[in-house]
Amino acid sequence: MSALHHDQPLRLMTVHAHPDDESSKGAATCARYVSEGVEVMVVTCTGGEAGSILNPAMDIPEVHADMPGTRRREMARAAEILGVAHRWLGFVDSGLPEGDPKPPLPPGCFALEPLEVPTEALVRVVREFRPHVLVTYDENGGYPHPDHIRCHEVSVAAFEAAGDPDRFPEAGEPWQPLKLYYSHGFSKARVLAFHEAMLEAGMESPYAEWLEKWDDSRPDNGARVTTRVACGEWFSVRDDALRAHATQIDPTSRWFAVPLELQQRVWPTEDYELARSIVDTEETNAAPGDDLFAGVRERVGA
């Protein structure tokens, strides 16, 4: 296993299923760490080829004719805005099966790849970039899209394998990331906080119907959060990166309904769950930490 050297830059890798996921999940955290000199790489598992055009302004023949190329260009622009390095893992978007019964996933898609295949591909990138911290989704994928669930499985497998010289020996010199996090977005507490703050300010809340239909029998991921990264100052960068994915993000949608100043006042953090750690850290749900590199900085002398 590669030894850690003092005074090296900290490195963060976030692993996502599709282009645009990096901008809707943890983008302000990435932008904050970039501003502090951390090297950040976003890995996108699929090309997003099966994505629908969700912005009416982009529902044009040129986009339909080259959806893969469009999404690559959008991703490049978002990475530029966030200041991150970017790597495609190269797998095919599985799409989101809809209907009853649901149709089978298309042959050759990411979610049907044997786990070892994308795991080796990600291990190769991990050993090349050598991140100290890896961020991905929880076992539910954030939401149950087959690519998100497979992204979780691949990320966890790669975290475990990357430092093992007996696993994928042709994929580069072993490197063990020190922490693995799951990103958590819309907990009920966060949605409710925005909803109530907007009503209090005399604005119409976009979350009323969502809250009415909220299934309280399902576990709330807010109960799993161990780490809250203060990054409100970078919410505008996050939003610019989101808008770069013009086929996927309607600028009039709920994503942008809550005024930035209200978000920064009511919930100025992005929230994570520490899933694995090889360093000593005191982050818990009862006493959340505030730094993805807690315990790592001491180890590497950063």
* Residues tagged in the binding site annotation: 18, 21, 148
Please give the Cα distance from 225 to 205 (Å, whole number): 25
Nearest to 254 by CA among 195, 175, 168: 195
Q: Give the alpha-carbon dihedral of 153, 154, 156, 158, to 10 degrees.
A: 160
H-type helices in the chain, by residue range?
21-24, 27-35, 61-65, 67-82, 116-129, 146-161, 188-200, 208-212, 235-244, 260-266, 296-300
Binding-site residues for Zn(2+), please?
18, 21, 148
Residue 138 tokens read as 């929880």
Angle at 13 between CA 8 and CA 14, to 5 degrees: 160
Q: Which residues of 16-40 are buried (b: 16+ CB within 10 A; e: fewer)?
A: bbbbbbbbbbbbbbbbbbbeeebbb
Burial class (CB in 10 A: 0-12, 13-18, 19+), 92: buried
Nearest Cα residue to 81 out of 297, 270, 209, 245: 245
CA 231, 234, 239, 242 dihedral sign is negative
Residue 260 CB-half CA count within 13 A:
11
